[in-house]
């Protein structure tokens, strides 16, 4: 998706930001995004914790693509028109 660096789950830091290389996203569905923001909400106990990380500014910027693991922990902060992807493991 245009991120040149290795991505790891931000479990302990909660959030990681990555620049999206526009030369690799041209013509792709995500071409308008400049930053990929990966949030792992597993360790968030209260939604206010995400607010302290600048959540309101992040969602205002239409050039941010935000991916959230454990979104149910911050459900009240996620905009209603957000797209949701559910991954399930098959046994």
pLDDT in tens, the chain (91 residues): 667 677 777 777 899 999 887 776 566 666 788 999 999 999 999 999 999 999 999 999 999 999 999 999 999 999 999 998 888 888 8
What confidence score (pLDDT) does residue 1 get?
62
- Could you give all domains of the chain from N- to C-terminal order, each with its CATH number? 1-91 (3.40.50.300)
Place of tokens 């931000």: 10
Whole-model pTM over 0.75: yes
**Closest by CA position to 73, among listed 52, 51, 50, 44:** 44
Local structure of 75: helix, strand or coil = helix
What confidence score (pLDDT) does residue 48 get?
96
């Amino acid at each position: 998706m245009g991120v040149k660096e290795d991505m790891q789950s931000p479990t302990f830091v909660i959030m990681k930001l990555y620049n999206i290389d526009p030369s690799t996203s041209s013509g792709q569905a995500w071409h308008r995004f400049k930053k990929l923001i990966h949030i792992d909400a597993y360790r968030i106990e209260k939604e206010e914790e995400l607010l302290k990380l600048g959540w309101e500014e992040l969602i205002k910027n239409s050039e941010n693509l935000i991916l959230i693991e454990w979104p149910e922990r911050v459900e009240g902060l996620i905009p209603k028109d957000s797209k949701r992807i559910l991954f399930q493991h098959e046994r």
